Amino acid sequence: MSMVYNQGIDLKEYFSKNKHDFEERLLSEAITVREKIKEIQQIGNINLIENAHKLVLYVINQNEEDLVSFAANEGIVWAKYQMTLSFKLEWVQAIRRTLWHFLYSFDNLSEVPTNREEFFSTEKTINQYFDLFLNCFFISYSKFKDELLDAQRELVANLSVPIIPISPTICILPLIGAIDSYRSTSIEEKVLTEIGKLHIQTLILDLSGIAQMEAIVINHLSKLIDGVSMMGCKAIITGLRPEIVRNMIKQGFSFEQKAETKGSLQQALKEYVTFN
């Protein structure tokens, strides 16, 4: 590999003149990543080679503001398209090694070689900027992932607690599938919040979609009904299955003093919707 060097050129110009050699050296350093370059560009429209040049220039020019912004954008894109972090880490470390190789070549070709003090100062600065890039990248990546996870949890919570208004004061909460302690807590939070937000006066809890209910869940439901009552809302329970009723009797639970019960959702709707 023969470097192009003219006396008096600065480091930025040196890299520009040897751009092709830099890319070849970089690809030889990042063995795993080079096989994924086209795939990564197709997935997230990320040009790894072009971005490598950007990073090097930000580091050489000590352009902290643009480097931090670049790292943050990279973190979002990699998180958004769920690209492997190990590839990113290998790629950045390969860029770092390649940059040091070119700094060594530049120093050897220079009329005035770098002295010991200058070398350690340069080493410290360059590594600080690479570390800054990685730190900002991972923070941005993690933040985007956390926000995405929170959004997904909120979506799941909303889907698992579908409060359906059927009049300005009456809503239905049809519960379907298994209910564990985590979902019980989500139901409680959503129900009490929506009662206050929508000024619900009557809440029909339809349990016909639940085949079985553990004692701890029955206890949670009992406390929820207490909370509904404390909010000034009337609770109506429909669709209790015989096996659930037997389990409640066995465990000593009863909703009779806390809520009105109806055999089916249709029965409750006929009575309350017609009444209102």
Cβ partners under 8 Å of residue 105, min gap 6: 3
Tokens 């609770």 correspond to what residue? Answer: 235
Give the pLDDT of residue 3. Answer: 66
Give the pLDDT of residue 72. Answer: 96
Q: How far is CA 72 from CA 58, 83, 134, 141, 249, in A?
A: 14, 15, 10, 8, 58
Give the tokens for residue 145. Answer: 């992932």
Give the pLDDT of residue 158. Answer: 58
Per DSSP, what are the bridge partners of residue 191? none
**Tens digits of residue pLDDT in 235-271:** 999 998 888 888 888 888 877 778 899 989 898 888 8
How far, in Å, CA of 20 to CA of 140, rounded? Answer: 31
Helix (H) / strand (E) element for 207: namely strand 202-209
How far, in Å, CA of 225 to CA of 192, rounded? Answer: 10
| Contact present, 133 and 239 (Cβ < 8 Å) | no
Give the pLDDT of residue 196. Answer: 93
* Assessment of whether the complete model's pTM goes beyond 0.85: no
Q: What angle do CA 149, 134, 23 make, to 5 degrees?
A: 120
What's the mean pLDDT in 75-93?
90
**Tens digits of residue pLDDT in 157-175:** 655 678 889 888 999 999 8
What's the mean pLDDT in 11-30?
87
Range name among 4-13, 60-69, 171-180, 223-232 with the lowest pLDDT average: 4-13
| Contact present, 27 and 1 (Cβ < 8 Å) | no
Tell me: pLDDT of 138 over 90.
yes
148 band by pLDDT with thresholds 50, 70 and 90:
confident
Give the pLDDT of residue 276. Answer: 43
Considering only residues 136 and 189, tell me which one the structure prediction assigns the higher pLDDT. 136
Alpha-helix runs per DSSP H in 62-115: 64-80, 85-109
Give the pLDDT of residue 275. Answer: 45
Q: Please state the three-class secondary structure of 176-199 as a single string.
A: ECCCCHHHHHHHHHHHHHHHHHHC
How far, in Å, CA of 14 to CA of 10, rounded? Answer: 6
Give the pLDDT of residue 200. Answer: 94
